[in-house]
Amino acid sequence: MFLYLSKLLPLFFYPLGLASVSLIVALVTLWKRPRIAAIAISLSLILLLVCSNGWVAKSLVRSLEWQNIPADLIPNAEAIVVLGGATKSAIWPRPTVDLSEPGDRVIYAAQLYRQKKAPIIILSGGRIDWRGSGSPESADMAAILTSIGIPAEVIIQEPLSLNTYENAVNVRKILEYRGIKQVLLVTSAMHMPRSLKIFQRQGIDVIPAPTDFLVSQGELQEITSTPKAAILNLLPDSNNLNQFTSALKEYIGSFIYSLRGWI
């Protein structure tokens, strides 16, 4: 039930969901209480305009992504842990497993392995049955890794986790069983601050290895590069709205996880 509510309830706190609720209120109150309807419409408009412009969205994303950038070369460890959420199962019409937007996690893990940063790769992630069918994410990631030449014998799958907390709990059991003390944690840069705290709370000696950066220094400079760029980044953009929402999800997730004592 917690898993379902964690996906449902925050919709009313995200810009698009909150704007939709506000517009429904406006529609219901339009004839009898036009003042309330006008306030609701104004709220929806402000939400969409503010949350979908590049200045706000990229600043919020950067506040998460730039927290755990390695100062030097990433050190060696005993294992590479990769969190799920990076693949789409090979279900018709897909001929094979596809990488989703966070798919950089899988590719980066392969690069770290080839750089001999760790001798094994632990893939953690199941698949929520009511959010689409398919193989566990760990199996999908393993399929991608083996297809690009990573030996199957160095891959360990953890297919039961349905959220980041379960990732940490289940990976800790694998580490304890194998006597592994220190790992490299690979996940999206925006997801890293919450993931790092959860793994550390489980007593795991974890080194952050973030990837899948949505905001780079170049993109921030582009916003203010010219007056035209500065103006264009004030205009509504669906990609900016998506990035803002993703960052907001992480902050809400951290708050909820802290209430539950998971971080």
What is the DSSP secondary structure assignment for residue 75, as one 8-state letter? P
Kindly list the structural domains of the chain, giving each domain's residue range(s) and its CATH number in brackets, ordered by start. 2-65+236-259 (no CATH), 79-208 (3.40.50.620)
pLDDT digits (tens, 9 = 90+) for 244-263: 999 999 999 999 899 999 99
pLDDT digits (tens, 9 = 90+) for 97-138: 999 999 999 999 999 999 999 999 999 999 876 565 678 999
Task: Give dist(CA 94, CA 214) in Å, integer.
Answer: 26
| Residue 239 exposure: Cα atoms within 13 Å on the Cβ side | 8
CB neighbours (10 Å) of residue 84?
26
Task: Give dist(CA 252, CA 183) in Å, integer.
Answer: 26
Predicted TM-score of the model (pTM)? 0.92
